[in-house]
Amino acid sequence: MPRQQKPRVKGEGAGPADSSNRQSFDPSQPTDIHSRPVDYLTESEVTRLVAGAKASRNPDRDTLLILMLFRHGLRESEALLLRRDWLKLDSAQIWIERLKGGRSSYHPLAGDELRLIRKYLRTRNDDLPWLFISERMSPLSDRSIRVIVANASDTAKLAHVNPHKLRHSCGFYLHSKGHSSRLIQDYLGHVNPSSTMLYTRTASKQFEGLFK
C-alpha cells in the first residue's frame, strides 16, 4: 500500500588496570532481561484501562484509541498516523503503518473494535483524513496520546501506564496465548527477532506439563 504523507511527530574508557571508573555491582538492580520489572498490563488491567477512558471528555475516541494501542501493539507515533481511509470495515481490516523500519501490514479488526470504530465515526462531522483528531480539528499529538492514557490510568487506579506499555502488553498477551515468536514479530512489525524475544521471559505457561 502506498505510504501517505505523515503529520509531524514531536516527539575511551580507562584500561583494565584503572579501577577509578569501574562501576560497582548493585545486587538490587536487574542484571538481565529475565530480571526486569513488570512492564506490561494483564488482560484484566487492559479492560480496566479501557473502561477508565469512558470517563474522559471524549469517551468514544479515547476508548477506541486505548483499545487499538493494545490490540495492534501501536507506538504512539503510529497511532496518530492512522487514517480513516486505511479502514476496510466491510472486510474488518485496518492498515497499520509501522515506523522505525518496521513491517507494515493489514490487521484484522475484532467485532467489539468494529463497533467502537463505527460508534466513534458517527460522532465525526468532518472530512479530515486522520482517524484520531483533537477538539481543535487537527491530528492528535504524541503528547495528547500520552495524556489520554495517563488520565484513563488514573481513573482505573493503575500506576505508571504509558502508550508503549500497551505495545508491550500486546506482545505478552499474544505469547501467553501460545502464538509463535515469528507471528508476534510479524504482527508487531519487528525487523529484529531479538526485539520479539522480550515477550518470552515471563511466559511461564510454556513450561507447564514438562514433567507430567
Cell for 152?
484513563
Question: 44 CB contacts (<8 Å, ≥6 apart)?
Answer: none
18/30 Cα distance (integer angstroms): 25
Side-chain half-sphere CA neighbours of 172 within 13 A = 18
Residues designated catalytic: 75, 100, 164, 167, 190, 199
Q: What is the DSSP string of 94-159?
A: EEE---TT---EEEE--HHHHHHHHHHHTT--S--SBSSB-TTSSBPPHHHHHHHHHHHHHHHT-S
Cell for 12?
575511551
Identify whether the C-beta of residue 58 lies closer than 8 Å to the C-beta of residue 135. Answer: yes
